[in-house]
Amino acid sequence: MSFMPDLLAAAAAAVPFDPETATRAYLDTLQGAARAKSDAYFEGGYWLPLWSALISLLVYGAMLQFGWAAKWSSWASRLTHREWLKPAIFSVPFIVTASILTLPWSLYTGYFREHQYGMSNQSLGQWFSEAGIGLGVGLVINIIFFTIIYAVIRKSPRRWWLWGAGAVGVLVAFMIMLAPLFIDPLFNKYTPMKGGPVRSEILRIAHEQEIPAHDVYVVDASRQTKRISANVGGLGPTVRIALNDNLLNRSNIQGIKAVMGHEMGHYKLHHIVSLLAYVVLMAAAGLFILWWAAPRILAAYGDRWGVRSVADPASAALLSILLALLGVPGGILFNSIGRHHESEADAFGLEAAREPDGFAMTAMQLSEYRKIEPAAWEEMLFYDHPSGRTRVRMAMDWKAKHLAELPPEQRGMIVMTPPAEPK
């Protein structure tokens, strides 16, 4: 018989576990140039939504000012007399032109900035290839959306904002359901995880939480990024457990269990459904503002732009400007919703996986590109997840509360570090 567990338990009891001290020990593992880079990357992102809104204003404003939107609408009318089809035809030059005009900005935010901070593994050719696939997917989605939203505008001029919000909800729900089968595989390869302790532990936790999954998929995300990630994606029959190869290669089993417990929390807490409800409510609020503002703006400037009414597909340029402006405060609100969901999933994951130090270690890994100790106002405005400090402290508070339930070797103050990053 071995007395080692008893000795470890006695040692842990002799030095009381302090969550604040343990939290600080984890936070102090990110110092110097690494912390400065993380802070600079994340703080620079504070301004990206504002610049994106300004660029949208310029691009869609040019479509109105130079009469492009009106010409595309006339072109669609010449091609077909079917009113329901005109918005679909109009959407093609509208989306393609917007994508071309915003390409420099997309290149900066999606490629050059990511390489500047060492977050991307893509070559320029790979980036353009995926951008082309994204444009194709976006065209299909927008053709469907334009057809629906302008049909609603024509049929219900007084309540199109309400029916439009419902249409947004239905379309987003279908995208979530179909993405694992038809969209995600366009960008990444999903491979069933080989048998072993990691797969067994993930499925054990899933079955304990009554999640209907019988396999785990590995995503080759390392071809694009250095970020770690996982999800329980899909909706209804398309639910799928997946983790990217960065998480598999850069973490240990404790960290992987902690992440997967968190992701299973999103599923068990019905966050996809509640997020859909928030999307519909926010869409209703935004579309109501558009319903009120767009006719008034067109009354003043519509003749100059050649846009007859909101029912004219050419009004999409004006609606896009208004949506871009509303997107700045809307993004802050959506951050708060997301942060609340993530915090709930964190708490669920700690209970499901029971790996507080694995959770804290992962929070530190995520802080490679998220400012780890923001001011309260920063976290409130710009974080769609809790900050690293918040998450590590939650894990250490959970550990202190459940100390007696943990194995003896996990009861002391541990600063768990991930395996070395593969060369």
Nearest to 112 by CA among 98, 100, 124: 124
**Mean pLDDT, residues 301-329:** 97
Give the tens place of pLDDT for each residue, 406-415: 999 889 989 9
Q: Kindly indicate the confidence band of residue 421, based on its pLDDT and cuts at 50, 70 and 90.
A: low
Q: How far apart are CA 68 and CA 311, in angstroms?
A: 17
Q: How many residues does the chain have?
A: 423
State the SS3 of the chain. Answer: CCCHHHHHHHHHHHCCCCHHHHHHHHHCCCCHHHHHHHHHHHHHCCCHHHHHHHHHHHHHHHHHHCCHHHHHHHHHHHHCCCCCCHHHHHHHHHHHHHHHHCHHHHHHHHHHHHHHCCCECCCHHHHHHHHHHHHHHHHHHHHHHHHHHHHHHHHCCCCHHHHHHHHHHHHHHHHHHHHHHHHHHHHCCEEECCCCHHHHHHHHHHHHCCCCCCCEEEECHHHCECCCCEEEECCHHHCEEEEEHHHHHHCCHHHHHHHHHHHHHHHHCCHHHHHHHHHHHHHHHHHHHHHHHHHHHHHHHHHHHCCCCCCCHHHHHHHHHHHHHHHHHHHHHHHHHHHHHHHHHHHHHHHHHCCHHHHHHHHHHHCCCCCCCCCHHHHHHHCCCCCHHHHHHHHHHHHHHCHHHCCHHHCCCCCCCCCCCCC
Question: CB-based contacts of 262: which residues, under 8 Å, 6+ apart?
Answer: 345, 346, 348, 349, 353, 359
Q: What is the mean pLDDT of the chain?
A: 93
How many CB atoms within 10 Å of residue 164?
A: 25
pLDDT digit string (tens) for 202-237?
999 999 999 888 899 999 999 999 999 999 888 778
d(CA 123, CA 279): 34
269 within 8 A of 261, measured Cβ to Cβ = no
Q: Are 386 and 394 in contact (CB under 8 A)?
A: yes
Q: What is the pLDDT of residue 238?
A: 82
Q: What is the pLDDT of residue 419?
A: 77
Predicted confidence at residue 349, as pLDDT, reads 97
Q: Is the pLDDT of residue 372 over 60?
A: yes
Residue 7 has pLDDT above 60, yes or no: no
Can you give the pLDDT at residue 403? 95
Interatomic CA distance for residues 374 and 313, integer angstroms:
44
CA distances from 247 to 225, 240, 422 (A): 11, 17, 12
Q: Check residue 237 and give its pLDDT.
A: 81
- Residue whose entry in the numeric block shows the structure tokens 């270690």: 361
Closest alpha carbon to 242 in 222, 269, 215: 215
Tokens standing for residue 309: 């009414």
At residue 327, does pLDDT exceed 80? yes
Residue 9: is its pLDDT beyond 80?
Answer: no
Q: Rg for the chain (alpha carbons), in Å?
A: 25
Mean pLDDT check: name the lowest of 7-21, 98-112, 170-184, 376-390. 7-21
Note the pLDDT of residue 214: 85
| CB 255 within 8 Å of CB 361 | yes
Q: Report whether pLDDT(162) > 70.
A: yes
User: Distance from CA of residue 218 to its chain's centroid?
Assistant: 19
pLDDT at 285: 97
- The rounded distance, in Å, linking the Cα atoms of 271 and 384 is 14
Least Cα distance to 30 among 39, 43, 42, 20 occurs for: 39
Q: What is the pLDDT of residue 8?
A: 44
- For 241, phi then psi, to 5°, come to -90, 125
Tokens of 247: 């998480």
pLDDT band of residue 423 (cuts 50, 70, 90) is very low
> Does the model's pTM come out above 0.85?
yes
| Rounded average pLDDT over 172-197 | 94
The alpha carbon of 159 is separated from its chain's Cα centroid by a whole number of angstroms, namely: 31
